Amino acid sequence: MALPQGTPSSFSTTNFDYLIVGGGTAALVIAARLSAIPAITVGVLEAGPKSFADPFITVPGRFGEALGGHYDWKFETVPQPGLNGRKLPWPRGKVLGGTSAVNFMTWTRGNREDYDAWEALGNAGWGWDGTLPFFKRTETLHQSSVEHQLRHQSHFAAEHHGTDGPIATVYSTEYSVPHQHWHSTLETLGLETNRSHFSGSNIGAFTTLTSVDPTARTRVSSATAYYLPNAARHNLHVLAEATVQRIEIEQRDGERVATGVAYACGDETYVAKASCEVIVCAGSVQSPQLLELSGIGSPEILEAAGIPVKVANLNVGENLQDHMMTAMIYELDPTLTGPDEIRASPALAKAAQETYDSSQSGPYTMLPCALSYASLPQVIPAATLDSILSHLPSPQTPRDRILAKQFSSAKRGQIEYLFDIGNWSPYFKPEQGKVYGTMLMMLQLPLSKGSIHISSPSIHDKPTIDPKYFAGPGGELDFAIMAPTQRFADKICRTAPLSSIIQRRVFPPEEAPEEDFASWVRDTAVTDWHPIGTCAMGGHGGIETGVVDERLRVYGVKGLRVADASIMPLHICSHPQATVYAIGEKAADLILEDRGL
């Protein structure tokens, strides 16, 4: 299908009702839903290119290969004292579809308690019951057969899934050897297989769904699912390789009103107007950056950059939360073949591609799908956990009080474990000819809170990203939790039948003290690429505690909303992809409601 090819000049002369900043996960959901009404004209500005045929994006088994390339914004944190001064790369998608076009296609949902916590803060309609319809609206579940369920533990409860949404969710047809051992290994350790992990509790082991087309076995992103089927609509205009510089805000009748955006294409700058709303969907890194560049934020930060203050809000760019991850490496049975071996061998890569092209099968269809979520009482001995929790910081805010409740709950999967073939650590140098597997461990509900702020008055200068990993009293508790939960990660790999394919641990080496992984965690922990919270919903506290209200309207500016992962006030025990799609669906509903439709 030939895609519409607009120009910056024609885009800027179009009379838009709604302008959407960013063409990522939530953005294209909103664009599709609004433009379904012929009387509404929608414009989308995306800084990256349109790309629908690059195998780095489309082929599931090549997950991760786009990171660090031209589809990546290539952000980086400032040095982190809690990580012994390390800076961390922070990949984010710079392409139509955003991070949904470069992520690992994992399709999971958090717990009922995760979303109910948002509502408890005063964000009406954002609890489990209020968000479930939007989770279902985005999805079409392609059910696994009884035989597939028995062989791969691909269980589901159909009533909790969607049946006619744009995103196809499917179980893989083939899995790596470690996956075949996952469920029985975790069962041995007391983490039972969860047969309905989309029903409001994802505690336990499960085989995860993926956002992959069930026939072509290609990635499904917001670009392929929400944009392509609607690209020919006369009232939907998407301009790629256009970088928004600021939101145009005017003073009208004593109110601040968003009227459009200024954006750059090449060396030229343009302005596009919106008669109804500007909707910022630039993600947890760039949504706060754009608000600040437009004069919305902390007066101290704006004045230092020479930006006039239009709305003073100390919360813009604050409340940054991220899942932290460690990657423990094991040498595996040398007869196994994983993604590292395929990428290193032209012959293996050619064979994998030929199998994929001819039958949509083979290693290029495989994704890491062996997951487990565990509560702290399940993986930390009681005496150790009691000692850790005795240092729980005194809650200072409603968010802190609600978050603190997680630690006595066996219903929250605070730790995620995932194992698959391949070396996932940037700090381990593999030996040629050896096959490796990685045990990933991810902290889900961090107490560490950081910030993202502008570094200059230009959109072309990357913002200052400071997650404050392991910093402050909350961060110290995060660190105290990750060391003992790392011992459980190693225990998984020493338990049969998974241990039958493992020869030895190589990172950290076997000679490291098994009882204490603390220094290794501090030296090697990285981001799990799940930042949220930098334009959070304020709830009961309003502008004193947040950036947007429960309808995602920016405090102090009429006609301006934010709709992406940045609006999440607290993190969830889940990969966030499905939640961000649901945010997009709910945002579109709110916008249409406010329009009277």
Euclidean distance between the first and final Cα of the chain, in Å? 31
State mean pLDDT over 6-14.
Answer: 92
State mean pLDDT over 105-117.
Answer: 95
Write out pLDDT tens, residues 480-491.
999 999 999 999
Q: What is the mean pLDDT of the chain?
A: 95
What lies within 8 Å, CB to CB, of 549 at 6+ separation is: 537, 538, 542, 555
pLDDT higher than 80, residue 500? yes
Q: What are the Cα distances from residue 336, in Å, to 281, 370, 432?
A: 42, 17, 14
Annotated catalytic residue: which of 161, 179, 571, 575? Answer: 575
* 179 in active site: no
Report the distance separating Cα 567 and Cα 546, nearest Å: 9
Q: CB count, 10 Å around CB of 461?
A: 12
Would you call 452 exposed, middle or buried from its count of C-beta atoms within 10 A (0-12, 13-18, 19+)? buried
Q: CB count, 10 Å around CB of 221?
A: 31
At 392 the pLDDT is 87
Phi and psi dihedrals of 502, rounded to 5? -105, 130
Which of 166, 142, 60 has the alpha carbon at shortest distance from 106?
60
Share of the chain above pLDDT 90, in %: 91
Write out pLDDT tens, residues 289-313.
999 999 999 999 999 999 999 999 9
Write out pLDDT tens, residues 364-385.
999 999 999 999 999 999 999 9
At 5 the pLDDT is 74
* 234 in active site: no
For residues 297 and 278, is the Cβ–Cβ distance under 8 A?
no
Q: Is the dihedral of CA 419, 480, 77, 454 positive or negative?
A: positive
Give 2's pLDDT tier (boundaries 50, 70, 90).
low
State mean pLDDT over 263-287.
Answer: 97
State mean pLDDT over 561-590.
Answer: 98
pLDDT higher than 80, residue 515? no
At 511 the pLDDT is 76
Give 394's pLDDT tier (boundaries 50, 70, 90).
confident
Which residue positions form the known binding site for FAD? 95, 99, 244, 529-530, 576-577
Tell me which of 43-47, 63-67, 70-74 is least confident.
63-67
Ordered by where they begin, the domains of the chain are 143-220+322-527 (3.30.560.10)
Write out pLDDT tens, residues 521-573.
999 999 999 999 999 999 999 999 999 999 999 999 999 999 999 999 999 99
pLDDT higher than 70, residue 23? yes
At 399 the pLDDT is 86
At 430 the pLDDT is 94
Annotated catalytic residue: which of 183, 530, 540, 571? Answer: 530
At 401 the pLDDT is 87
Q: Is 208 left (phi over 0), alpha (psi -120 to 50) or beta?
A: beta
pLDDT higher than 80, residue 409? no
Q: CB count, 10 Å around CB of 220?
A: 27
Write out pLDDT tens, residues 411-447.
789 999 999 999 999 999 999 999 999 999 999 999 9
DSSP per position, 336-403 = ---HHHHHH-HHHHHHHHHHHHHHS-SGGG----EEEEE-HHHHS-HHHHHHHHTTPPPP-SHHHHHH
Give this prediction's pTM.
Answer: 0.97
pLDDT higher than 70, residue 508? yes
Q: Which 3 state secondary structure label does DSSP give 318?
A: coil
Which residue positions form the known binding site? 95, 99, 244, 529-530, 576-577
pLDDT higher than 70, residue 513? no
